[in-house]
Each structure stands twice: as C-alpha cells, then as structure tokens.
Amino acid sequence: MPSPGLRRFAVLTALCTLLLIVAGALVTSNDASLAISDWPLNWGKLVPPMEGGIRYAFAHRVAAATVAVLVVILAAWQQSREPRAWVRRLGWAAVATVLAQAALGGAVVRFIDPKSLSIAHACLAQICFGLTVAIVVGHYPSLPTSAASASSGPAPTLAAAALFLQTILGAAVRHGAMTVVPHIAAAVVATALAMWSALQVLMRHMENAPLRRAATLLLALTFLQVFLGLAAYAALAATADYPQPMPVMIWATVAHVAVGSLAFGAAIALAMIVYRNDK
C-alpha cells in the first residue's frame, strides 16, 4: 500500500478540488465571471485590486492554480511510490483534466464567456474532483471478499453517472443555456438511482462497515441535495426582481453545487468499494 503521507496528500488534494468547485460556484452566483477581463494576468497585474466581483474571480484563479500544483505533485508522487498502474493512470488523468480546465477557463475570458465553454469548464471541475476521490479510495486497503454476501450489480455506477449528468444540467441552468425543467426532471431520476443504489447495498451488506458507511453517506447527501435544490430554486424565484444577486440566493446555490459534488464523489466511492468488494 502507498505511504500514509501519500494517502493524506491525496485526501488534501480532493478537498482542495472541492473548494475550487465552491469558488467557481461563488463566481457564477455573484455574476463575477467577467470581473477580470484578461488572462493569465488580472487586469494586467499579478494581484488585482480586491473590489466588487474581482475578489471572487481572483480567488477562483488562485484556487485553480493551487489545485493544479497539488494534482501534479500527487501524480508525480504516485509515479514513484504507487505500484498499481491503474492508480497512477488516475493521477495523470487528473493532471490532464485540470490542465484542460485551466485552458477552458482562459478561453472563457478570451471569448467573452461563451456558454458552451463555461459549461464544459464546470463539468471538467467535477471530473477532476471525481478522479481525486477515486484516487483517495484507491489508496485504502481492499475489503475482504468474504465480507460480501451477494453482488451489488451496476447500481452504484449508474448512480454516479446520473449524478454527473445532473452536474452538466445544473451548469447549463446556472449559465442560462436551458431552463430548470430538464434539471428537475433529471433530478428525479438521479435521486431514484442513488436511493436504489444505497438501499441495495445496505440490504445486502449491512454487516460490512465500509460499505454501510459509504451507502449511508450517499443516501444522506442525496436527500440533502434535494432539499438544497428546492431551497436554491425558491431563493432564485424570490429574488429574481432584485438588481443584483442576493446573499440568500448565492449561498443556497453554492451549497447546492457543493453538496451535489459531494454526492457525486460519494457515488464514485461507493461504486469503487462495491467493485473491489465483489471481485
């Protein structure tokens, strides 16, 4: 197994990637996507004046640079200390994703915030987070195969795919590329798949503590995500006539994005644990 230091660094990288997603959500919710009109500099400076939406956009850029450095270090560290090729490949896939995300972030500024690039930028952030979560799970010992009484099937993988689709639709709604109706309709499907996946694991592997914890976490995050989605929609509707984003709408939306990312990560973790448990 990898060293404890490498394992802890992988956890740190995943947490910082989640914070990057939160920073991006703050930029979008505060209508600060174009608060800085150049890239890679910031109004021609390394550190711009911290006023208005500039502070959100600059914080997002700093978070992105930090995550890029952490992901590269993690991949290089794994290359020298990680014996399993599939974990090393996940690390380099995360590097490719974070570099592509940085390039898209620059393109968003250069091309005056086109919606398609902004949506792709948000989706790459979720993919990068999912890869770091998979790396973290990969750094923990495999479960004993005798602990499982029956295979859990493809349910966790389907739940992870549905939750990722929700992130795409959510990004499209936030950037004004579609109405909220498809997002709500897909949320019903994603919620049902997540519940089916978690309950199936709980019924079949209740005696298996790692599986039980992972399934319970996915179930709890899914219910919280539904509640936050309703809260975000209500806050947006209540403040639609205000000339600028209101705090209640901003924080409800940001929380919705953050918990959605956590639910996606929990589904990936559960799918990986189930797969390793069933082998």
- Report how far residue 268's alpha carbon sits from residue 111's, in angstroms, rounded to the nearest whole number: 34
- How much of the chain, in percent, has pLDDT values that exceed 90? 55
Distance between CA 19 and CA 190 in Å, rounded? 24
pLDDT at 32: 83
Which range, of 17-31, 64-78, 102-116, 221-235, averages the lowest pLDDT? 102-116
Collapse the DSSP code of 53 into the 3-class scheme (helix H, G, I; strand E, B; otherwise coil) and give the result: coil
CB 136 within 8 A of CB 18: no
- Residue 1 pLDDT: 58
Q: Give the model's pLDDT for residue 278.
A: 57
Are 32 and 53 in contact, with CB atoms under 8 Å apart? yes
Task: Enter the pTM of the model.
Answer: 0.90
Question: Which pLDDT tens digit goes with each residue over 11-54?
Answer: 999 999 999 999 999 998 988 877 887 777 787 788 888 888 88
Residue-level pLDDT at 75: 96
- Bridge partners (DSSP) of residue 42 are 45
Q: Are 91 and 79 in contact (CB under 8 A)?
A: yes
Helices 4-29 and 115-138 meet at what angle, rounded to 10?
160
Instruction: Please indicate whether residue 275 or residue 268 has the higher confidence score (pLDDT).
Output: 268
Cα–Cα distance measured from residue 12 to residue 53, given in angstroms and rounded to the nearest whole number: 27
For residue range 177-224, list pLDDT tens digits in order: 888 899 999 999 999 999 999 998 888 878 888 888 989 999 999 999
Q: What b/e string do you get for 212-221 counting C-beta neighbours within 10 Å, with b at 16 or more? A: eebbebbbeb
pLDDT at 50: 85
The pair of three-digit structure tokens given for residue 129, joined into one six-digit string? 């987070």
3-class DSSP state of 45: strand
